[in-house]
Structure 1
Amino acid sequence: MKILCMSHGTMAQGVVQSAKMIVGDVQFLEYINAYVDQETNIDHQIKTFLKQNNNQTIIVCTDLFGGSVNNYWMKYLDSEKNLYLIAGLSLPLIIELVLKIEQKSGENINDIISSSIKNAKKSLTFCNKLDFHLTHEEF
């Protein structure tokens, strides 16, 4: 099993580094930074990653649905049967995925991904709308 974060620039690297600070140095969590130099060939980066991780289940999290990084990965969904693609890379999502995979529950990969996305969405909060008069015990 591999989780790969890939983004425009170094966002993926930052998310992975932050996740590893929180959940520990998880060996199955990796990143690829796209477009960090002019010589970068995204399709080559993807093919290399797939070749290095042949026959493994791979969850790829990209930064932006419809963005070029996500679109490159979309081309491989039909040919790579163990590839799962999520658009909307975030730290809460990666932490959810890592923790669920580490639990080695009996859930299938689709359920793990779906519940991780659902829980990650709950972390989005417009803090100005919160009632600041709550006591710490109520949090």
Structure 2
Amino acid sequence: MKRHYIFASHGTFARGLLDSVELILGKQQDIHTLCAYVDENHDLTEQVETLLASLPAQDEVIAITDIFAGSVNNEFIRYLHRPHFHLIAGLNLPLVIDLLISADEQDSEKLIHEALSSSRESIQYCNQSIASALQADKDF
């Protein structure tokens, strides 16, 4: 079974994120982007339907949207019944890199949980983190 990733966002964020991923990790296979509302002639429901219809039903899909309960995320929620379909909200670079560098993990739920945990740790208020580290060094 092949694993596909979908980055989906309001505007061109998804495409820009893929550009950053490929700058860091090199060219990637099986990653699709959906940039909603960049062309007023494209209906979001139709964009999602077309994209998912293009992927073999037996393949696994990990869709990552930018905002939980946003219109893009809501369109993908309609596919939660699809076999081998996983939906994550909160598209960000650390999350995507964690997913991709651990892609050999066969258990997708484990892969997703570990990537979510790791990416949460990468979100830092640097002023506080650095000050705490400097204070710990002084106390040592």
Is the shorter-chain TM-score for this pair beyond 0.5, marking a shared fold?
A: yes
The equivalent residue for 1:15 is 17
How far the C-alpha of 1:133 sits from its partner, in A, is: 4.5
Deviations along 1:47-102, one digit per CA (max 9) or x if unpaired, are 11111112210100000001000001001112x1111000000000110111111x
Matched, 1:73 2:73: no
* TM-score with structure 2 setting the length: 0.88
Distance 1:93 1:17 in 2: 15
The equivalent residue for 2:44 is 42
Among 100, 103, 113, which residue is 2:102 paired with?
100
Percent identical pairs in the alignment equals 32
Among 30, 33, 44, which residue is 2:32 paired with?
30
* TM-score with structure 1 setting the length: 0.88
The ranges of structure 1 where at least 4 consecutive aligned residues each deviate by more than 4 angstroms after the TM superposition are none
How far the C-alpha of 1:15 sits from its partner, in A, is: 0.7
How far the C-alpha of 1:46 sits from its partner, in A, is: 1.1
The equivalent residue for 2:138 is none
Amino acid at match of 2:111: I
Distance 2:24 2:59 in 1: 25
Distance 2:32 2:101 in 1: 15
Amino acid at match of 1:126: Y
Q: When the two structures are aligned, how many residues end up with a matched partner? A: 130
Could you tell me which runs of 5 or more consecutive residues in structure 1 were left unpaired when the two chains were aligned: 135-139
Distance 1:58 1:99 in 2: 17
User: RMSD of the alignment, in Å?
Assistant: 1.4
